[in-house]
Amino acid sequence: MNNNIDISIIVPLYNEEEVFSLLIERLTNVIDSCKFNCEVILVNDGSSDDTAQLIEGICKKNPRFTGVLLSRNHGHQLAVTAGMAHVRGKKGAMIIDGDLQDPPELVKEFYELLNDGYDVIYAIRKNRKESLLKRIAYKYYYRLQKRISSFNIPIDSGDFSMLSRRVVDAMNAMPEQSRYLRGMRAWVGYKQIGYEYDRDERQEGESKYGWRKLFELAFNGIFNFSDFPVRMIAKVGLVTILLSICYLLYILFRKVFFGDVPEGFTATIAAIILFSGVQLLSLGLIGEYVLRIYNQVRNRPLYVVDKLIQEGIEKADNN
């Protein structure tokens, strides 16, 4: 086992055969030029194209590449989690996406900050190459998240980051199923710093993060790291009660001073719809927390590894 690795670079991959050769070329140039020792952990997240075969090929050819091949598609956050569980870097790990929107060349700048005493160096995107609708959604979601979170989660920072060894170990010890890695690394604490960079366009292929997955990730960020939804239910309930009392007082006032009571089918239906909507919204918000508790108490493994290729040899997974 190689004990001289300083930094492990984790790269989750899902159907990335089109960009794979360019990715390996840039990663190889990076680790060749670094004055510290690096390994690259390529995680295949159940790809349906030739990504798995490509990973096996480079890992058996170049011992500085480790392949973690998952049994199926577990999702980006769990793929990164699987990579973190196999980190051998003594100093820590760097997380990047396989589409090369995150430049691997920044490992040198991040490593300098790591040596300066920072435990988390998270990248802040100065610009995005996505569609206007996605840019707007990202902008307001991050600001909403920061406002309602129980602690500070930096704005406009993704999973692209470098983590010290103790942060990697702390995050590996977290057993939660619905993982939101950027929230988890912020929760760990220690000394953290942001590093602004210009995010590149995707080199090849299409993004694997559709709207459904983005909403799932956003919900994990909100419900895992904020008690705002539950507190909001109480506030909405209080406002509803106050409105009901006000309407009751209005009815009594009309009855006492004018001798009439407003009648109408429309008003009755509107009231029923309002209160029913509030109840269903409340049940839905509570259900999000209950679902996360249910998934957690089943205590299933976070992921299943099909193959582990390390130092050019296929090995048994001991994690």
- Whether 154 and 272 share a structural domain: no
* Degrees to nearest 5, angle at CA 164 with 173 and 88: 70
- Same domain for 287 and 195, yes or no, is no
Instruction: Quote the mean pLDDT of the chain.
Output: 78
Quick one: pLDDT at residue 11? Answer: 93
Gap between the Cα atoms of 227 and 297, Å rounded: 20
More confident residue, 86 or 3: 86
Look at residue 91 and tell me if it is in a domain. yes
Counting Cβ atoms within 10 Å, is residue 25 exposed (0-12), middle (13-18) or buried (19+)?
exposed
Residues 46 and 145 in one domain: yes
Task: Tell me if 1 is assigned to some domain.
Answer: no
Shared domain check, 271 and 133: no
Residue 81 placed within a domain: yes
More confident call, 148 vs 63: 63
Q: Is the pLDDT of residue 82 over 80?
A: yes
The proportion of the chain whose per-residue pLDDT surpasses 90, expressed as a percent, equals 16
Rounded Cα gap, residues 1 and 92, in angstroms: 17
Residue 167 has pLDDT above 60, yes or no: yes
- Residue 83 domain-assigned (yes or no): yes
Examine the domain organization and report whether 94 and 137 are in the same domain: yes
DSSP per position, the chain: ------EEEEEEESS-HHHHHHHHHHHHHHHHH-SS-EEEEEEE-S-SSSHHHHHHHHHHH-TTEEEEEESS---HHHHHHHHHHT---SSEEEE--TTSSS-GGGHHHHHHHHHTT-SEEEEEEEE--S-HHHHHHHHHHHHHHHHHSSS---TTEEEEEEEEHHHHHHHHT---SS--HHHHHHHH-SSEEEEEEEPPPP-SS--S--HHHHHHHHHHHHHSS--HHHHHHHHHHHHHHHHHHHHHHHHHHHHHHTS-----HHHHHHHHHHHHHHHHHHHHHHHHHHHHHHHHHTT--S--EEEEEETTEEE----
What tokens appear for 301 in the block? Answer: 């493994």
Confidence class of residue 188 from pLDDT cuts 50, 70 and 90? confident
Two tokens, residue 311: 């130092």
Average pLDDT over residues 130-158: 67
Q: What is the pLDDT of residue 154?
A: 72
Residue 9 pLDDT greater than 70, yes or no: yes
pLDDT confidence bin for 169, thresholds 50/70/90: very high
Does residue 2 belong to any structural domain of this protein?
Answer: no
Residue 209 has pLDDT above 60, yes or no: no
Task: Answer whether 46's CB lies under 8 Å from 70's CB.
Answer: yes
Contacts of residue 181, Cβ cutoff 8 Å, sequence gap at least 6:
77, 80, 81, 95, 159, 171
Question: Which pLDDT tens digit goes with each residue over 85-114?
Answer: 999 999 999 999 888 888 888 888 899 899
Residues 213, 270, single domain; the answer is no
142 versus 77: which is more confidently predicted?
77
86 phi/psi in degrees, rounded to 5: -110, 15
> How many Å from the N-terminal Cα to the C-terminal Cα in the chain?
15
pTM as predicted = 0.71
Both 155 and 58 in a single domain? yes
In a domain, residue 99? The reply is yes
If asked whether residues 208 and 98 sit together in one domain, one would say: yes
| In a shared domain, residues 47 and 17 | yes
Specify the CATH number for the domain of residue 73: 3.90.550.10
220/243 same-domain check? no
Judgement on whether residues 109 and 137 belong to the same structural domain of the protein: yes
198 and 262 co-located in one domain: no
CB neighbours of residue 90 within 10 Å: 14
Q: What is the pLDDT of residue 142?
A: 63
Instruction: Please work out, in degrees rounded to the nearest 5, the angle formed at the alpha carbon of residue 45 by the alpha carbons of 28 and 57.
Output: 40
In a domain, 260, yes or no: yes
Range of the domain at 282: 228-297
In a domain, 213, yes or no: yes
Count of domains for the chain: 2
Tokens of 281: 């919204």
